[in-house]
Amino acid sequence: MQTASFLRTGESGEEQMKKFMLLLMLTAMLLCVTGCSGGSEKKAAYPADGEITVIIPKAPGGGTDISARGLLSFLQKELPGSKFVPVNKPAGGGITGMAELARAKPDGHTLGMVTVELAMFPHEGKADVTCNDVVSVCATIAAPAALIVEKNAPFNSLKEFVDYAKKNPKKVQMGNSGTGAIWHIAAQRFEDEFDVTFKHVPYPKGSADIAAALAGGRINAALADPASFKNQLDAGKLKILAVMADTRSELYPKVPTFKELGHPMMVRAWASLAAPKAISKDKLDILRKAAEKVCRSKEYKEHFRKQGIDPVVIIGDACDNMMAQDDAMYAKYLKR
| Domains present along the chain, CATH in parentheses | 52-142+269-333 (3.40.190.150), 146-243 (3.40.190.10)
Q: What are phi and psi of 168, to 5 degrees?
A: -130, 65
The C-alpha atoms of residue 169 and residue 120 are separated, in whole angstroms, by 28
User: For residue 47, what pLDDT is reported?
Assistant: 97
Distance from C-alpha of 291 to C-alpha of 293, rounded to nearest angstrom: 5
Tell me, what amino acid is at 274?
A
207 pLDDT above the threshold of 90: no
User: According to the model, what pLDDT value does residue 91 have?
Assistant: 92
Question: What pLDDT sits at residue 32?
Answer: 52
- Per the prediction, the chain carries an average pLDDT of 90
The predicted pLDDT at position 189 comes to 94
Q: Give the model's confidence band at 262: pLDDT under 50 very low, under 70 low, under 90 confident, else very high.
A: very high
User: Could you give the dihedral angle defined by the CA atoms of residues 324, 315, 45 and 67, in that order, rounded to the nearest 10 degrees?
Assistant: 90
Tabulate helix, strand, coil % of the chain (nearest 5).
45, 20, 35
**Distance between CA atoms of residues 35 and 254, nearest Å:** 68
Global pTM value: 0.81
86-124 pLDDT per residue, tens = 999 999 889 999 999 999 999 999 999 999 999 999 999
Instruction: Give the rounded percent of residues in the chain with a pLDDT score beyond 90.
Output: 77
Least confident of 7-11, 14-18, 123-127, 219-223: 7-11
Residue 29's pLDDT is 63
Q: Which residues pair with 199 in a beta bridge?
A: 173
How long a stretch of residues is the chain?
Answer: 336
Quick check: helix, strand or coil at residue 88?
strand
Q: How far is CA 226 from CA 62, 230, 237, 327, in A?
A: 14, 6, 13, 23
- Measuring CA to CA, which residue among 270, 272, 295 is closest to residue 137? 272
